[in-house]
Homo-oligomer: A and B are copies of this chain.
Amino acid sequence: MSTLDGEGGSATRRRPGRRPGSADTRGEILAAARRVFAEKGFDKATVRGIAREAKVDPALVHHYFDTKEGMFAAAMQLPITPDEIIPVLLDGPREEIGERLVRLILHVTAAPETREPLVALIRSAMTNEQAAGMFREFITNALLYQVADRLGVPHLRVEAGFAQMFGVIMGRYVLKLEPLASADHEELVELLGPTIQRYFTG
Contact = CB atoms under 8 A, between A and B. Distances in A.
Contact of A166 (B122, B135, B139, B170): B170
Contact of A136 (B166, B168, B175, B194): B175
A175 B129 CA distance: 9
Interface string A139-157: 1100010000000000111
Given A140-B177, A156-B187, A176-B136, A164 B123 contact: no
Given A177-B136, A191-B156, A162 B167 contact: yes
Interface string A168-202: 10110011111110010001000110110011000
A156 B194 CA distance: 15
Contacts of A198: 194-195
Interface of A: 122-123, 125-127, 132, 135-136, 139-140, 144, 155-157, 159-160, 162-168, 170-171, 174-180, 183, 187, 191-192, 194-195, 198-199
A159 B157 CA distance: 21
B160 A163 contact: no
Nearest to A192: B160
A105 B73 CA distance: 33
B125 A174 contact: yes
Contact of A174 (B126, B140, B167, B183): B126
A159 B135 CA distance: 25
Contacts of A187: 156
A183 B155 CA distance: 11
B174 A163 contact: no
A127 to B, nearest CB: 6
Central interface residue in A127, A159, A166, A191, by most chain B CB within 10 Å: A159
A112 to B, nearest CB: 16
A168 B175 contact: no
